[in-house]
């Protein structure tokens, strides 16, 4: 699908606003941030003095129609702060859309500006079930429109959140169209308190999942974190933009983008994220950390996927090429894997891939299109629920070493049964730096 087709048929109606035609046409980069119940200090870190000149920030201040008065008051305070500290250049009441230049006292680069989309005042709130997904889509659709109008020179739309501090090297040089998205590295700001401990345990689970998928050589091994995401505008249009979901919108967008191009992990670009509890969305880092903090013994009681699940996944994915010559080769796998694959309709997927492929390479590509990030997660959950139940961190580390998922180095100098805060930080750092293993994993 072309950008023009997307803007005409699938983009949010706000892209037809006459205000967008009056936006200047010299912005080098565009950054989209949804903001809900955020502090007025938001613009300081976001538009810090290390950012490049000519940056356009699209800020979607939002809440759903069931939000509290406190949320509305904080959203109004944020808009009021921007109105006091920035020069308003334009306003379109038909879309509740503002256009500001950024004042020097916010330490911004030259030529920086902010478009504010008001989706929090009465009559403009978002549907409860569409929440942050719709907020991101509104902002990204505006960014796409301005790139299409050549008012933003970059081909990339950057997406982040209000609780982040973006690094000096965040904005990158242009790359070819074969890359559909880039995900940055990340690090939460940890302090030795319930918020920091809970967030650290959750970050370990994120890094563990990413590493395990790399170990399995899955093409869907990337971090699905909305605050670390950038995507090429043409690929964004091709997959019809962000899904309108109140959570998981980053996961589903990346799942589609992985099928139109390569997703690159920028290990040396680290987004720093504030550790905090949150109930803005039903799941994600904030809600997960809050739930972890309610456990009696978070380090002992918080559960992770059993490493044996990823051994099963690796065996499944590595079997794909052999299926081109022999449909029945997958029946030589562990009977537990066979049971799971049968329940997922794997035989039908093999038949479809064969009838649409000329060679083994195309066949494997078709199978990976079917066995995508969503079905990968479904496979993991089916194995977890039926055979290999989740385990605590101590058991996960030991089982990971025993199965070949981890090297013994991850346990060096540690007592897995007595993990202190600094031990957890070491494990987290280790998972972030571990190279992909190439030895065959052992059956659990």
- Cβ burial, residue 313 (10 Å; 0-12/13-18/19+): buried
Q: What would the 3-class secondary structure string for the chain be?
A: CCHHHHHHHCCCHHHHCHHHHHCCCCECEEEEEEECCCCHHHHHHHCCCCCCCCEEEEEEEECECCCCHHHHHHHHHHHHHHHHHEEEEEEECCCCEEEEEECHHHCCCCCCEEEEEEECCCCCCECCCCHHHHHHHHHHHHHHHHHHCCCECCCEEEECCCCEECCCCCCCCCCCCCEEEEEEEEEEECCCCHHHHHHHHHHHHHHHHHHHHHHCCCCCCCCCCHHHEEEEHHHHHHCCCCCCCCCCHHHHHHHHHCCCCEEEEEEEEEEEEECCCCCCCCCCHHHHHHHHHCCCCHHHHCEECCHHHHHHHHHHHHCHHHHHHCHHHHHHCCHHHHHHHHHCCHHHHHHHHHHCCCCHHHHHHHHHHHCCHHHHHHHHHHHHHHCCCCEEHHHHHHHHHHHCCCCHHHHCCCCCCCCCHHHHHHHHHHHHHCCCCCCCCCCC
- Cβ burial, residue 267 (10 Å; 0-12/13-18/19+): exposed
Torsion angle (degrees, nearest 10) of CA 186, 191, 197, 203 = 0
Reading phi first (left if > 0) and then psi (alpha if -120 to 50, else beta), residue 164 is in beta
Domains annotated on the chain, with CATH? 3-193+222-284 (3.90.550.10)
With vertex at residue 30, the alpha carbon angle to CA 27 and CA 35, rounded to the nearest 5 degrees, is 135
Q: For residues 408 and 185, is the Cβ–Cβ distance under 8 A?
A: no
pLDDT value of position 27:
92
pLDDT value of position 442:
43
Of the candidates 142, 119, 299, 356, which has an alpha carbon nearest to the alpha carbon of residue 233? 142
* Distance between CA atoms of residues 338 and 354, nearest Å: 19
Of the candidates 374, 152, 130, which has an alpha carbon nearest to the alpha carbon of residue 246? 130
Q: For residues 106 and 84, is the Cβ–Cβ distance under 8 A?
A: no
pLDDT value of position 68:
85
From residue 87, alpha-carbon distances to 57, 82, 99 in Å are 14, 8, 9
pLDDT value of position 67:
81
The string of pLDDT tens digits covering residues 331-378 is: 788 899 999 999 999 999 999 999 999 899 999 999 999 999 999 999
**End-to-end alpha-carbon separation of the chain, Å?**
44
> 292: which residues sit within 8 A by CB, 6+ positions away?
197, 198, 201, 202, 298, 302
pLDDT value of position 49:
44
* Distance between CA atoms of residues 15 and 140, nearest Å: 10
Helical pair 360-370 and 346-355, crossing angle rounded to 10 deg: 140
Burial code (b: 16+ CB inside 10 Å, e: under 16) for 316-328 equals bbebbeebbeeee
The string of pLDDT tens digits covering residues 103-158 is: 654 545 567 899 999 999 998 999 888 888 999 999 999 999 999 999 999 999 99
Q: What is the pTM of this model?
A: 0.90
Q: What are the residue ranges in the chain where pLDDT is below 70?
A: 42-51, 103-110, 275-286, 434-444
pLDDT value of position 290:
83
pLDDT value of position 312:
95
């Amino acid at each position: 699908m072309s950008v023009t087709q997307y803007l005409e048929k699938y983009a949010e109606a706000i892209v037809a606003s006459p205000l967008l035609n009056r936006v200047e046409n010299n912005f080098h980069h565009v950054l989209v941030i949804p903001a809900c119940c955020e502090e007025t200090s938001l613009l300081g870190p976001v538009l810090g003095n290390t950012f490049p000149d000519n940056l356009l920030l699209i800020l979607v201040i939002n809440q759903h129609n069931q939000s509290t008065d406190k949320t509305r008051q904080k959203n109004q305070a944020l808009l009021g702060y921007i109105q006091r500290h920035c020069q308003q250049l334009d306003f379109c009441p038909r879309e509740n859309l503002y256009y500001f230049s950024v004042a020097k006292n916010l330490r911004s680069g030259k030529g920086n500006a902010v478009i504010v989309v008001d989706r929090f005042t009465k009559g403009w709130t978002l549907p409860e079930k569409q929440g942050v997904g719709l907020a991101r889509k509104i902002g990204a659709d505006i960014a796409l429109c301005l790139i299409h109008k050549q008012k933003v020179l970059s081909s990339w739309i950057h997406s982040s959140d209000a609780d982040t501090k973006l690094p000096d090297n965040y904005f990158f040089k242009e790359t070819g169209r074969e890359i559909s998205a880039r995900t940055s590295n990340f690090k939460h700001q940890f302090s030795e308190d319930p918020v920091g401990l809970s967030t650290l345990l959750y970050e370990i689970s994120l890094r563990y999942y990413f590493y395990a998928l790399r170990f399995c050589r899955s093409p869907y091994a990337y971090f699905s974190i909305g605050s670390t995401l950038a995507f090429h505008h043409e690929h964004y249009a091709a997959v019809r933009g962000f899904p309108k979901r109140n959570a998981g919108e980053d996961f589903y967008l990346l799942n589609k983008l992985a099928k139109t191009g390569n997703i690159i992990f920028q290990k040396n670009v680290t987004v720093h994220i504030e550790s905090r509890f949150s109930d803005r969305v039903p799941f994600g880092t904030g809600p997960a950390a809050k739930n972890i903090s309610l456990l009696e013994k978070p380090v002992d009681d918080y559960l992770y996927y059993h490493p044996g699940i990823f051994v099963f996944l690796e065996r499944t994915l590595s079997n794909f090429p052999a299926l081109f010559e022999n449909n029945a080769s997958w029946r030589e796998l562990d009977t537990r894997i066979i049971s799971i694959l049968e329940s997922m309709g794997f035989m039908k997927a093999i038949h479809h891939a064969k009838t649409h492929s000329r060679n083994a390479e195309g066949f494997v590509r078709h199978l990976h299109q079917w066995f995508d990030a969503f079905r990968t997660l479904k496979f993991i959950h089916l194995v977890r629920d039926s055979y290999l139940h989740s385990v605590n961190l101590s058991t996960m580390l030991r089982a990971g070493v025993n199965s070949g998922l981890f090297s013994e180095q991850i346990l060096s100098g540690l007592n897995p049964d007595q993990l202190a805060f600094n031990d957890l930080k070491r494990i987290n750092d280790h998972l972030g730096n571990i190279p992909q293993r190439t030895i065959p994993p052992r059956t659990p």
